Amino acid sequence: MPLRDLASGLAYCAINTATLGFQAPIAATIEAVARAGFGGIAPWRREIEGQDAAAIGRHIRDAGLVVTGYCRSSFIPAANRAVFDANVADNMRALEDAAALGAHHFVMVVGGLPQGSRDLAAARRQVAEGCGRLAVRARNLGVRLALEPLHPVYAADRSCLNLLSQALDLCDALEGETANPWVGTAIDVYHVWWDPNLAASIARAGQTRRIFGFHVCDWLVPTEDPLNDRGMMGDGVIDLPEIRAMVEKAGYSGLIEAEIFSARNWWRRPIADTLEVCRQRFATSC
């Protein structure tokens, strides 16, 4: 099965609004993304909360876009039980907005070590428990839960879920094997490209139908800041066509989403320019 042609298939491509540096209100961003010809958008909570999520969802659909992932969970692990419960509750509220938006899935960035802790295993147990609670609510709301394993460089402060295989183990623990899973993964090339077990893990994710989202960007050499110095597709060292081939061969037919945190470059450019370069690079470099 050949790869989907992204040059003539911009409808397969989505823009994560973080790529545009949050320079415009969500309404203007929706219009810009639709005008540029993309098929989907992934908004962030900072753009939605305090507003009418259902109305924004209608705006997105009326513009001809789908909502891929709604970004994202706040961190789950906490130094005590009360804060843990509050963290879970915060994400419960976000799930309601995900449903109101009509998002395909809610992106889980699970959090790292609580302040003062060195107990990574305990943080991972808290993540499993919190995700378990959220998964029940998500399913009731009709929102899929997409666990996003993050690069190990973030293990301390952003996510103790660091391998795709680890995320899939958690999916299995939460839901068991099922023909129609509601708990799956968001696979971001930035986080997983280095993994020597990547091909096997992607194949496994496909077999269990747990690829809910697929994000692209690039790894720059050198990387000035592991958080906010991501590259545009084609500007770094990740073999994007190879990883996309793994993902599509595994049965993924959803949108391919550009998510580029780039404080020194793309966030400083006009939105329309960045969208145009994304369009070109989806065609030539993914």
For 57, the token pair is 């969802």
Q: Which is nearer to its own copies, 81 or 118 (CB)?
A: 118
DSSP H/E element including 131: helix 120-141
**Closest distance between its own copies and the C-beta of residue 196, in Å?**
5
Q: Which is nearer to its own copies, 52 or 242 (CB)?
A: 242
For strands 183-188 and 144-147, give the pairing: parallel
**Closest distance between its own copies and the C-beta of residue 66, in Å?**
30
Q: Which is nearer to its own copies, 92 or 153 (CB)?
A: 153
Q: Which is nearer to its own copies, 156 or 245 (CB)?
A: 156
Tallying the residues shown for the chain, one arrives at 286
Comparing CA positions, the residue from 174, 213, 209, 225 lying closest to residue 71 is: 213
Comparing CA positions, the residue from 96, 97, 92, 150 lying closest to residue 124 is: 150
For 183, the token pair is 């708990």
**Closest distance between its own copies and the C-beta of residue 123, in Å?**
10
Give Cβ neighbours of residue 111 (< 8 Å, ≥ 6 apart). Answer: 73, 74, 75, 76, 77, 87, 123, 127, 158, 159, 160
**Closest distance between its own copies and the C-beta of residue 222, in Å?**
7
Q: Provide the binding-site residues for its own copies, judged by CB under 8 A.
A: 113, 117-120, 124, 151-153, 155-157, 160, 162-163, 166, 193-197, 219, 221-223, 226, 236-239
How far does the chain reach from its first CA to its final CA, in angstroms?
16
**Closest distance between its own copies and the C-beta of residue 274, in Å?**
23
| Cα 48 from chain centroid (whole Å) | 16
Q: Which is nearer to its own copies, 124 or 139 (CB)?
A: 124
CB 240, CB 285: distance < 8 Å:
yes
Q: Which is nearer to its own copies, 1 or 121 (CB)?
A: 121
**Closest distance between its own copies and the C-beta of residue 214, in Å?**
18
